[in-house]
Amino acid sequence: MTIFMRLIICFAILLYSFPLFSQTTLLRGNVYDEESGEAIPFCTIQLEETGLVTDTDANGFFSISDIPAGQYTLIVTYIGYDTASVKVDVAAQQINYQQVFLQPTVLVLKTVNISGLKERRENTTSISTVSITPSQITALPSVGGEADIAQYLPVLPGVVSTGEQGGQLYIRGGSAVQNKILLDGMPLYNPFHSIGLFSVFETEALSSVDVFTGGFGAQHGGRISAVVDIKTREGNRKKWSGMASASPFQSKILIEGPLKQFSRDQGSLSLLLTGKLGYLDQTSKVLYDYAVDTSFYAFAAQDTSLSDLQEDLGLPYSYGDLYGKLSFVGTNGSKFNLFGFSFGDRFEVPGLAELEWNNGGGGMSFTLIPAQSSTVINGTLSYSDYLIELEERGSGPRSSGIATYNAMMRFTNYGKNKQLDYGFEFNGFNTDFDFINAAGNVFEQRDFTSEINGFVAYSQNFDRLILEPGIRLQYYASQAAASIEPRLALKYKITSDIRLKMAGGLYSQNLISTFNDQDVVNLFVGFLSGPEETIYQPGTRDAANNRLQKAWHLIGGLEVDLSDAIQINLEGYYKDFTQLIQINRNKLAATDPDFVIETGDAYGVDLSVNYSNPSGFYTYLAYSLAYANRFDGEQEYPPVFDRRHNLNWLGGYTFGEKGEWELSGRWNLGSGFPFTQTQGFYQDIDFSDLGQTDVLTENGNLGVLLSLLRNGGRLPYYHRLDVSLKRQFFFSKDSRLEITASVTNAYNRPNVFYVDRVTSQKVQQLPILPSLRAAFYW
């Protein structure tokens, strides 16, 4: 019997050992927007006569168990909507279903509640979890006036971006490949465009974003640092509508509407289409006196004037994204979605480098709510194909492709103050990778591998104590290795306003990135499956026990609600990366290993304070004290994303008779990133032809000697202020024009991005960038 079969049997026994939820009286339903038919997530649901309170999930679904038969008043509230009060008749020992429709308020003063609703905080562990809504993203002052999740994520405590050109996201000490990005349940690779300011996701099409910065439950796996779970909404089910916008950075359009109109007693079929086109490579030459620096290609530009290149180039970034979704929603909340996408990105420095990547795919997802069962079933079936190619002067071409197949089923069983989740997932991916390092050694990988996993997670609310144990079984076929991963989260309510929480677990992954954490600038983001050959412990010739990357997480925290308007969240964390695997880019001989192992850890403290009130004012403050370390067998060093101090402030005020004005600001302060200092220079003479080389008179290329102490220096502190002013012009109930004036880096702080080692020229990040954006909604 194989190891995998033994694990499946153990998993089945474990699942069967959970007490089955007996048939009980159950009230469940969905909450919808009265005008669009869109599901409303995270509403507060109260059964008035009982005092029972819950909230809707990301799909607008709620469930209340074990209530006596009778007539009740169901009260539903949500910011920006009139409160709904509905009489419901609950029959004994049956599953009772109720739709609730909320009417948008006539006057909406936009408030931002970053920590979520109070009921959700009280009744879930929610440790190291931040839920983001589209309204929060649009409230952030953004580059070019274009609100995007790529600009919002670095505001969160524990999240760091390394730059405004090709910057990657690092979450609580983990590298970018150690973060799992999900789009409607489908794994997505490299979702951020090369300029680093925009993602492939359309803010107007989002339903919810959940960011798990560590200690996440058994529902998620296959990554060892963090998870970003992004869900899109269904198209408008009542009428055809849309939006179109333009700015100096990009233009985009969204069209949505019913193919079969929604009504309370029958299902609907709706369509949502979005697209955007980035043209900064053209507009930057005219509008902005700023250019991408080419000094990180200087090794290839032996006879080219960098100043001339910069004058002609502008910002050589362009991109285009398309996404479509077809949704059928039944009268009981069951739904079926078909979705497809095509994302593309291009960066070109003529004569020096040309990089292009494309990612296309699609799939289906469903939610099934059986009429006579307390179990809700969710599933996803998807395919994606990612390919990135880079050609540079002075080095061979590089390419990396990964085609992924994913199938997932998840079952959720609701009971009174308890919930049981379990499910299965299959991931298969083909990798196609070619790379030649500086020593001329060729790296190739053409492989297919698969991962099969299952999980069980149980949640029980014991009044003051919430307990969420879980276990995940991961099997990696190419490694013939299994990983049994326990997870645990808990929350203890000292009072209704003060809560302690804790989470931890074991995590593993097989995916490796070609992106190296030692690089300051690297736009080539490729992916590989883990090595199948023998790998060795750092600094030794001792074979590793396995070929997986693994990490342990331990997190503790405190939540305090000072009032309904003020929330404080404090968390400390520790991540122990017991094994990290990277490509051996320093391979000199064919006998050297293709992969090397490092170890590391990350620890720190994150603090956030949120204040918002119905008058239209909000403010948010987040501070992180963080440490990240790596050990390569020779020395311990900080990776390039190790930022000791990071402070973010957000503020906004909505005003005017109809809330038509919105003023907002963001300020970020961060300590400098580490870098390896220059120790000296030498003449790099070519000895390939000894008969023609005169070492006494030959002038070789200038070589750089780096300090033996890796990343021993620090760049200066970074700080930047962004401000924006938004004005809405209402033409009718359904149409409006939105004008956003924004200024990025308002006081023109010269933040160092890169220093040329030969010329000592400092390359700055974005200077002051004023912008005007217009968006029309109908």
Which are the contacts of 688, defined by CB distance < 8 A and separation ≥ 6?
Answer: none
Closest CA to 610 of 651, 573, 645, 654: 651
Per-residue pLDDT reduced to its tens digit, 68-99: 888 899 999 887 788 888 899 888 888 888 88
Q: Which of 205-209, 454-458, 591-595 is predicted least confidently?
A: 591-595
Q: Which two tokens stand for residue 523?
A: 């736009």
- Tens of pLDDT, residue by residue over 539-557, are 888 888 899 999 999 999 9
Residue 141's region, left for phi above 0, alpha for psi from -120 to 50, else beta, is beta
What pLDDT sits at residue 298? 42
Q: Please give the Cα distance from 87 to 494 (Å, whole number).
A: 35
Residue 532 is classified by DSSP as: -
* Window from 274-288, 511-525, 748-762 with minimum mean pLDDT: 511-525
The CA distance from 778 to 345, in Å, is: 29
Q: Are 197 and 148 in contact (CB under 8 A)?
A: yes
Write down the mean pLDDT value for the chain. 86
341 exposure class (CB count in 10 Å sphere: 0-12, 13-18, 19+)? buried
What pLDDT shows up at residue 301? 36
Check whether 178 has a pLDDT greater than 80.
yes
Nearest Cα to 394, choosing from 612, 739, 701, 622? Answer: 701
Three-state DSSP string of 642-679: CCCEEEEEEEEEEECCCCCEEEEEEEEEECCCEECCEE
Please provide the distance, in angstroms rounded to a whole number, between the alpha carbons at the two ends of the chain.
62
Mean pLDDT score, 199-219 = 94
Total count of residues recorded for the chain: 778
User: Is the confidence at residue 524, as pLDDT, over 80?
Assistant: yes
Residue 428 pLDDT greater than 90, yes or no? yes
Q: Which tokens belong to 643? A: 């930022």
Q: What is the pLDDT of residue 41?
A: 84
Per-residue pLDDT at 110: 46
**Sheet of 186-187, strands arranged across:** 129-132, 206-212, 226-232, 179-183, 186-187
Which residue, chain included where needed, has tokens 């048939």?
23
Beta bridge partners of 681: 704
Task: Give the model confidence (pLDDT) of 315-341 as tens digits.
Answer: 788 999 999 999 999 988 899 999 999
- What whole-number percentage of the chain has pLDDT above 90? 52
Provide the pLDDT confidence category of residue 689 given band limits of 50, 70 and 90. low
β-pair type (179-183, 169-171): unpaired
pLDDT of residue 429: 92
pLDDT tens per residue across span 390-412? 887 767 788 999 999 999 999 99
* Secondary structure (3-state) at 10: helix
pLDDT band at 730 (very low <50, low <70, confident <90, very high): very high
**What share of the chain has pLDDT > 70, as a percent?**
88
Q: What is the pLDDT of residue 598?
A: 94
Mean pLDDT of 31-41: 86
